[in-house]
Amino acid sequence: MLHWKMKKAALVLITVLTLVSTGCNSPFAGKVLPVREITDRNGVMYEIPKTVDRIVSLSPTLTQIILDLDMTDKLVGVDTNSRKFYDLAKEIPAFDMMAPDAEQLLALKPDLLLVSDMSLAGGADDPFALLSKNGICVIAVTTPATLAQIEQDVAFVADLIGAKEGGEALVAAMEAKLKEYRVLAEAVTVQKTVYLEVSAAPYIYSCGSGVFINEIIELIGAKNVFRDQKGWFSVTPEAAVAADADVILTNIDYIEDPVAEIMSREGWQDMKAIQNGTVYRINANASAQANHHVVDAVAEIYAAVYQNQKAD
């Protein structure tokens, strides 16, 4: 999780040309199959099989969409994080999303291989070239920067796997929940300031504008203390202390008690959030996975900032 968050700013720079190189070719696996065209939110057009029965997902974000669309039976391979986060059948093989075994993936004979742009960030070589060469449709979903792009991606993935109506329902439910919090934000009279930490000391990272977590903070009627920054960036302890947020949020899941760690930092004891005990841990999965479950992060952040309740 740490490496994903710290690399997001660079990952978003993956070009459309890279995506095209991982696109789909026909015939598939040496056989001419019926295909249809579909275009992602970047304008990249893919030819995919009209019938998709075998899917490999190398992104927990995308895997969760597939699971919620009740298409689990179509999954023939996942990434190791999907294995860790979700209840999946043991017989489904798991792969390192950053260093996948292309030959083993090819042996699964998927109709679609879904990846995030994180899997393309390891170097100049395309890790999925062997699959594309053999006619496997490889689709890379770029990291979304906004809630609207998340909705687009959910609908896109659903359409890819033959569950367009189900995807529309997930998006509608997400938008309805976001609307509820927009209404709540209108009633906010005292705007709280928020500092979000996604990587702990000594390698502190936070986010500015151009990141959907920043949009969530604004949506609930709060203000990100680092809104003037762009994307994901390194924060000095001095900058965090000077920002002196009303509320500190952390989604760190690789240390036992990140709240206690923040509360005990030398030089931070006079910050408002430390003095008032308004330091909260939010769910790492909900706040990091850019799909319809981001509304769970909205609920947690709103509760922490305006209800002073820790989410379970």
More confident residue, 187 or 120: 187
Tell which of 143, 168, 200 closes a domain.
143
pLDDT band for 110, please (50, 70, 90 cuts).
Answer: very high
Q: Is 85 a domain residue?
A: yes
The verdict on 128 and 212 lying in the same domain is: no
Q: Where are the beta strands (DSSP E) in 188-294?
A: 193-197, 205-207, 223-224, 232-234, 247-250, 279-281
pLDDT band for 120, please (50, 70, 90 cuts).
Answer: confident
What are the backbone dihedrals phi and psi of residue 222, each rounded to the nearest 5 degrees, phi first? -105, 180
pLDDT at 2: 40
The verdict on 293 and 208 lying in the same domain is: yes
The verdict on 193 and 109 lying in the same domain is: no
Query: By C-alpha distance, which of 172, 174, 176, 213 is closest to 293?
Result: 174
pLDDT of 14 strictly over 60: no
Q: Bridge partners of 138?
A: 113
- As a whole number of angstroms, the distance between CA 234 and CA 180 comes to 33
Cβ partners under 8 Å of residue 180, min gap 6: none
**Do the beta carbons of residue 280 and residue 251 sit within 8 Å?**
no
pLDDT at 125: 79
**Do the beta carbons of residue 191 and residue 222 sit within 8 Å?**
yes
Q: Is 156 a domain residue?
A: no
- As a whole number of angstroms, the distance between CA 48 and CA 46 comes to 6
The verdict on 105 and 204 lying in the same domain is: no
Q: What percentage of residues in the chain have a pLDDT greater than 90?
A: 81
- As a whole number of angstroms, the distance between CA 195 and CA 240 comes to 8
- As a whole number of angstroms, the distance between CA 58 and CA 72 comes to 14
pLDDT at 11: 39
Q: Mean pLDDT lowest for which of 20-29, 128-137, 206-215, 289-298?
A: 20-29
Q: What percentage of residues in the chain have a pLDDT greater than 70?
A: 87
Tell which of 85, 117, 143 closes a domain.
143
The 10 Å CB-count burial string (b at 16+, else e) for 184-217 is ebeeeeeebbbbbbbbbbeebbbbbeebbbbbbb
Q: What is the pLDDT of residues 158-195, one digit of tens each?
A: 999 999 999 999 999 999 999 999 999 999 999 999 99
Q: Which helix (H) or strand (E) holds 69?
A: none
Q: Is 202 a domain residue?
A: yes
Q: Is 150 a domain residue?
A: no
The verdict on 113 and 202 lying in the same domain is: no
pTM reported for the whole predicted model: 0.87
pLDDT of 7 strictly over 80: no
pLDDT at 1: 43
The stretch 284-294 carries a mean pLDDT of: 91
Q: Is 155 a domain residue?
A: no
The verdict on 135 and 194 lying in the same domain is: no
Q: Bridge partners of 232?
A: 207
For residue 218, what is the domain's CATH number? 3.40.50.1980
Q: What is the pLDDT of residues 27-56, one digit of tens each?
A: 444 455 689 999 999 999 999 999 999 999
The 3-state DSSP class for residue 34 equals coil
- As a whole number of angstroms, the distance between CA 273 and CA 247 comes to 5
The verdict on 126 and 42 lying in the same domain is: yes
Q: Is 76 a domain residue?
A: yes
pLDDT of 25 strictly over 90: no
pLDDT at 262: 97
**Domain coverage including residue 67:** 2-143
Q: How many domains does the chain have?
A: 2
The verdict on 11 and 139 lying in the same domain is: yes
Average pLDDT, rounded, for the chain: 88
The verdict on 198 and 298 lying in the same domain is: yes
pLDDT at 285: 87
Two tokens, residue 171: 């998006």
Q: Is 182 a domain residue?
A: no
pLDDT band for 124, please (50, 70, 90 cuts).
Answer: low
The verdict on 11 and 110 lying in the same domain is: yes
What are the backbone dihedrals phi and psi of residue 270, each rounded to the nearest 5 degrees, phi first? -95, 0
Q: Is 64 a domain residue?
A: yes
pLDDT band for 117, please (50, 70, 90 cuts).
Answer: confident
The verdict on 137 and 246 lying in the same domain is: no
The stretch 127-152 carries a mean pLDDT of: 94
The verdict on 18 and 111 lying in the same domain is: yes
Q: Where are the beta strands (DSSP E) in 201-263?
A: 205-207, 223-224, 232-234, 247-250
